[in-house]
Amino acid sequence: MSRILLRTETILFVTIVVLTAVISIINPVFFTIGSLFDLLRSSIVLGIFAMGVLLVIISGGIDVSFAAIAVFASYSTVRILGIVMPEAPLWIAFAVSAVIGLGLGMINAFFISKFKLPPLIVTLGTLSMFRGFLLFAIGNKIIRDIPPSMPAFARTWLVEVGMEAGVSRLHPAVLITAAVAIFVWLILDFTMLGRGIYALGGSRESAERAGFNISRIQYFIYGTVGVFAGIAGLIYASLNRQANPQELVGTELNVIAAVVLGGASLTGGRGTVIGTILGVALVVLMNNSLVLVGIPSTWQRVAVGVIILIGTGLPALQAKRKSRQIARVAES
């Protein structure tokens, strides 16, 4: 029982419940179905990003280029379809954006796998490269004349609930986020590939001795991050009903904070889908609800920074305690 209570997922769940209760007491408007639907909508893109970043962090790396990939893929897709197939159905838009994201993710994988460069350094470089190429070669103007299937997708809903101030709707894109989370969970918990990802994060040398193909694992990880980014970018453009090359870049801190807060270790080898989902929920809750309790939005980044410190500090303290306990047992 004590182990369950001290698990990161349990602590996060209790924190979310307490924070929700406090915000609801201060501002009763928060505790409504409408607010829940708004929080779920805000979690769609962040959640998809977080699943990709979870794979990277478990493998022992850090990727900061996923937002740039998302913008590049979605903006390029809108430009391409606007010229070639303006009336393209939504699935084609998603397919094109995902393929572009896959290609950009493979560029990251190539440098990381071929030259064994640190993922953080590579993705910092490709972040600037992708963004610069987008702005100066593809376009830097906001496109509001997007394929009709995208705004039509933005207007759809799964559930509609009548409220005092109007109608609240749950967008079906939450199902895409759920599907991505289930896919990552299945890979990590039920496949040899998932074991290889955890092994790579624990020790590259040990993973190689165990027979895992490190290069293939890295290509899978960063290719998957690219696909997820392409999908998330197109969802974002659809919900906003425009393609803006200046959007999304800068959200990396929130995503990494959510994954780390969910229990993933920045040194690799540890992390869960459930923990990441709870981390996303807490970050979205704080970002969307601080204003409701009278805290200026400018303090949101301070709050996220504190979350990162707590999320990385607590596991380190727990690891030190365990090492001391092992040392004491060995001495006795």
What's the pLDDT at 308?
A: 67
Residue 228 pLDDT greater than 90, yes or no = yes
- DSSP per residue, 150-212: HHHHHT--SEEEEETTEEEEE-THHHHHHHHHHHHHHHHHHSHHHHHHHHHHH-HHHHHHTT-
Q: How many whole angstroms separate alpha carbon 122 and alpha carbon 319?
A: 29
Q: How many whole angstroms separate alpha carbon 186 and alpha carbon 172?
A: 22
pTM for the predicted model, two decimal places: 0.93
Q: How many whole angstroms separate alpha carbon 297 and alpha carbon 17?
A: 22
Query: pLDDT tens, 154-213?
Result: 999 999 887 766 788 899 999 999 999 999 999 999 999 999 999 999 999 999 999 999
Domains recognised in the chain with CATH numbers: 2-331 (1.10.3470)
**Rounded to 5 degrees, what are φ and ψ at 249?**
-60, 125
